[in-house]
């Protein structure tokens, strides 16, 4: 009898999600860019919205390196970041909206047994405000943010901390983000990253992502088979 060809082993699905906040759960990237523009103006710098918008997704200190001389960055980056956060939160209820179906997708992931950790370059105050708006505090495993690490995205620190803190290393985690900085941060760790177009970045900027979907609801609806 001829030997039966062996089937290749089925690839195990992703068992945990490291999810970005801005541009994935909430439509906030434009609001962040406007707040950065106003914050920089208060310190004597006029930067076009279009230039700032391309940098949204980076941590505040990382973003400011492109617009400040080194000495000013060293002494004033933290103060500028605090002003930006205050200006952003002042207009949060007016300017920021949850993406349709995003919170429902997170709850569905939780029901499917997937740990979901928010891994964001936002500071803690902005992140917690968003979680209350989304009403998903009980659906996520936890979060990491810019306040927890020395370097935020495009560096890998918020992702690597999330994996260690919530013991996700053995679960084959996947990052989900809307910016090239999410992809870069994830790939520094050898971590796969799924890109979302909901944050307004052009598709070509997410060309290095392992897959691309329209938004989080589309990922869960059309890419459910990718998860364990």
Contact predicate 142/166, CB 8 Å = yes
Report the 3 state secondary structure along 109-124.
Answer: HHHCCCCEEEECCCCH
Alpha-helix residue ranges (DSSP H) falling in the chain: 29-42, 49-53, 60-64, 70-90, 92-95, 102-111, 124-134, 157-165, 180-188, 216-222
Task: Decide: pTM greater than 0.75.
Answer: yes
Say yes or no to pLDDT of 9 above 60.
Answer: no
Whole-angstrom distance, CA of residue 139 vs CA of residue 110 = 6
pLDDT at 5: 42
Say yes or no to pLDDT of 10 above 60.
Answer: no
Average pLDDT over residues 96-105: 98
Contact predicate 153/62, CB 8 Å = yes
Q: Is the peptide bond before 114 cis (omega within 30 degrees of 0)?
A: no
Say yes or no to pLDDT of 108 above 80.
Answer: yes
Domain with CATH 3.40.50.1000 in the chain: 16-27+97-226
Say yes or no to pLDDT of 7 above 50.
Answer: no
Say yes or no to pLDDT of 8 above 70.
Answer: no
Pick the CATH number of 30-95 from 1.10.150, 1.10.3470, 1.10.10, 3.40.720: 1.10.150
Domain with CATH 1.10.150 in the chain: 30-95
Reading the block at residue 8, the tokens are 């290749």
Average pLDDT, the chain: 94
What tens digit of pLDDT does each residue of 17-69 get? 999 999 999 999 999 999 999 999 999 999 999 999 999 999 999 999 999 99
pLDDT at 95: 97
pLDDT at 11: 57
Work out the angle between the directed axes of helices 29-42 and 70-90 (0-180°, nearest 10): 130
CATH of domain 16-27+97-226: 3.40.50.1000
What tens digit of pLDDT does each residue of 172-197 get? 999 999 999 999 999 999 999 999 99
Comparing CA positions, the residue from 220, 25, 215, 225 lying closest to residue 117 is 25
Task: Please tell me the number of Cα atoms within 13 Å of 151 on its side-chain side.
Answer: 10
Report the share of the chain in percent with pLDDT over 90: 94
Reading the block at residue 84, the tokens are 């930006």
């Amino acid at each position: 009898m001829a030997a039966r060809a062996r089937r290749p082993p089925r690839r195990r699905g992703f068992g945990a999600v490291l999810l970005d906040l801005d541009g994935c759960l909430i439509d906030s990237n434009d609001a962040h860019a406007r707040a950065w523009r106003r914050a920089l103006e208060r310190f004597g710098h006029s930067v076009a919205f279009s230039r700032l918008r391309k940098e949204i997704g980076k941590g505040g200190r990382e973003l400011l390196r492109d617009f400040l001389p080194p000495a000013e960055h060293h002494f004033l980056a933290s103060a500028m970041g605090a002003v930006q956060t205050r200006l952003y939160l002042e207009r949060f209820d007016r300017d920021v909206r949850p993406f349709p179906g995003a919170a429902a997708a997170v709850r569905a992931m939780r029901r499917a047994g997937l740990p979901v950790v928010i891994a964001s370059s936002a500071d803690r105050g902005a992140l917690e405000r968003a979680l209350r708006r989304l009403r998903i505090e009980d659906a996520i495993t936890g979060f990491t943010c810019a306040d927890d690490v020395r370097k935020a995205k495009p560096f890998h620190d918020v992702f690597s901390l999330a994996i260690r803190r919530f013991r996700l290393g053995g679960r084959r985690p996947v990052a989900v983000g809307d910016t090239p900085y999410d992809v870069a941060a994830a790939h520094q760790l050898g971590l796969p990253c799924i890109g979302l177009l909901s944050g307004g970045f052009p598709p070509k900027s997410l060309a290095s992502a392992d897959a691309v979907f329209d938004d989080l609801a589309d990922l869960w609806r059309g890419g459910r088979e990718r998860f364990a």
